[in-house]
Structure 1
């Protein structure tokens, strides 16, 4: 089951790319900003239309999502979901006017020292969000595609978007098998996903709830509602405190109360038959 994202069709999204409504801006929100950099000689790096578009870096992956989960079983170079064609981690100076043209962007040639590899400027880019240049009218096209003549600024995604697919069904069943204590069946379901990705198979001894969450992250990054998954599994406070770089930088701790959402006051007041208590911490 997927959402049709072609413009101006029945059931489609992106019906008008010049309006705020109806847009699916995954490429814009989730992509980094190497196009927004200037080299150490102040030459801008703006030739981006056919390379990645012009993302704004609103959402960057944690080191957990961009690094840690791909090191499992030494599969960094084996798991095709982590290939350079699926996750881009190196960006280049694309303006021929720059003396660094063709070189990787680094702190030596223009990236400010305070920006780590996982800042919004050079965060890994998951290519599942990137679509081809699409034939839609746009006020601000950067370059037309030479072959098709299509043009737009690549801020929007025009790829059909998954809502439900078999891999998640396998991982949900793996979770159910794990909760029943059938670790062999859980491993088999996880391996159905890993085998397709050419990743090293897991054994029943590997299976725990964290492995299932890791596999969901490898397979469903940017697709699943991760917050809901972590809340459902009772893991949200733990994972926030282990992996959220913002909390760590601030020396803060997520309270246990984030495991549940607050109940709207209107719902509490409407429950006249008995007292409905607010969730703890709200």
Structure 2
């Protein structure tokens, strides 16, 4: 099951926006009903549930990261509504991305749950249904965090349903926990790196996140935090953070011992459309690096780290070098035409003669003193390229592009780099995609979930222990009990999880979205959040497309819109 691939040609499904309806067109002329009643056909249906994750996570990450304290646009504009809030309305660009893709997965799971009752009985049938219910719970969890209460549509739909009622957020959380409780009782215990399938550890991890998030809601209670801490510890299962920081996201090491759940890609599965079937996570959190003319990867100047994000790291924190490409290297090679060619960035990964590499750009860390700069320049004098640029601290964040708008003028995030794309030779750089996995859950974050849950449950000493395990691996001093609060946890999550599709949810969960985004994102002021009704735009709006297609017009919009 490692690298689950959706086999097309058996059943083609088409999702019709808010109607949550899938029309079937059997290209092999084998009826779906007949196919799914066999063990092999049912397995294909389960596999398709995993495949829908690529639609949720594989595209642009605006709903995960835009409009936060850690990332802001550089010279490339982001969707103005999601990134700045003032222009955020129900019809804004990309507002419906999660709404549509999550309901696509939900309907696929609904079909799985239905056919489990009529398909061939096998020894692993309950386990497969448990995996599917985990995926449905994760989809609803994304929806309820983003939009608040949404319709609970857990029936297998065979004819169009054009009218939906909006369930409350409390009801959605109840449905999520019900699915996860059932999943926990039935999924397997196989090691994720071997099976590639949802296991009990993944379910415990998601239960921890769900209970922690519900605990902050008006209908939550102290017991939610206690449960979150317990489930997080069950997911940790005594495993220390022993993988070095620079190995966590090393290309080729996505399925490491600390990966709990991920969206998996396989290079062979992209062969039918190698310019589209991967993901674009590598494209963000950086700057334009020169593109095809230098052989560098295409980057967007979107979601560039803010001064706040870059300033989170202290001297000795191993995550600084593991997260950022602090030196951009160049190498002179001979092109196919026999002429000398300078290749930028990728020589870091690919060079066969590392001693010949030159440094084109260096980004000075926050802790450098003038003496440190002099020492670095002296030690590296022989390595400097003719066009070398030294970027002092404070001159390579997102906001600095307002002052100096040039290639490579924000520090590149390297943790998602794919130095071995499989796109055809000569493919335009704007069509390059990655086939690296997108890591959704990993052990380092689970420790931080436990830390926050114990703090909120009134057991700060235990929570501090969990947080300091993350800091121990990073090579920095333990935090003290006097420092240990929600803001410190958010700072630590920023250091550990930069770029990992978590930040907007973190700020929304902890009630710090307005305060932190307006304090640290140069594009956002607190007044941006005030909506037409005078209420704050904390939730994203219910998409206008969903409202228009819903024949039930008594479907309330979120506050602020």
- What's the TM-score, normalizing by structure 1? 0.70
- Cα–Cα, structure 1 residues 246 and 104, in superposed 2: closer, same or farther, change >3 Å? farther
Secondary structure at the counterpart of residue 266 of structure 2:
coil
Deviations 1:91-147 (A, max 9, x none): 46767899x94443369xxx9x9655797742121211112224x2414269xxxxx
Q: Is residue 126 from structure 1 mapped to residue 434 from structure 2 by the alignment?
A: no
Aligned length: 240
Q: 1:254 aligns with which of 529, 543, 546?
A: 529
Secondary structure at the counterpart of residue 163 of structure 1:
strand
Structure 1, unpaired ranges of 5+: 37-44, 71-75, 143-151
Q: Is residue 24 from structure 1 mapped to residue 279 from structure 2 by the alignment?
A: yes
Secondary structure at the counterpart of residue 127 of structure 1:
coil
Secondary structure at the counterpart of residue 537 of structure 2:
helix
Secondary structure at the counterpart of residue 419 of structure 2:
coil
Structure 1 contact 91–105 (Cα < 8 Å) conserved: no
Q: CA deviation at 1:200?
A: 1.4
Note the 1:72-111 alignment, pairs <5 A: 76-83=314-321, 85-91=322-328, 101-105=385-389
Match of 2:451 in 1: 174
Match of 1:158 in 2: 435
Distance 1:211 1:77 in 2: 17
When the two chains are superposed, the root-mean-square deviation of aligned CA atoms in Å is 3.8
Structure 2 contact 283–300 (Cα < 8 Å) conserved: yes
Q: Is residue 140 from structure 1 mapped to residue 450 from structure 2 by the alignment?
A: no
Bigger relative CO (Cα 8 Å, ≥ 6 apart) = 2
Q: CA deviation at 1:48?
A: 3.4
Q: CA deviation at 1:243?
A: 0.9
- Please identify which structure carries the higher helix content: 2
Distance 1:216 1:198 in 2: 16
Q: CA deviation at 1:239?
A: 1.3
Match of 2:559 in 1: 280
Q: Is residue 7 from structure 1 mapped to residue 284 from structure 2 by the alignment?
A: no
Q: CA deviation at 1:65?
A: 1.2
Distance 1:200 1:252 in 2: 38
Larger radius of gyration: 2
Distance 2:271 2:301 in 1: 21
Structure 1 contact 183–205 (Cα < 8 Å) conserved: no
Note the 1:262-273 alignment, pairs <5 A: 262-263=541-542, 266=547, 270=552
Distance 1:63 1:178 in 2: 28
Structure 2, unpaired ranges of 5+: 1-260, 333-339, 343-383
Secondary structure at the counterpart of residue 8 of structure 1:
helix
- Please identify which structure carries the higher strand content: 2
Match of 2:474 in 1: 197
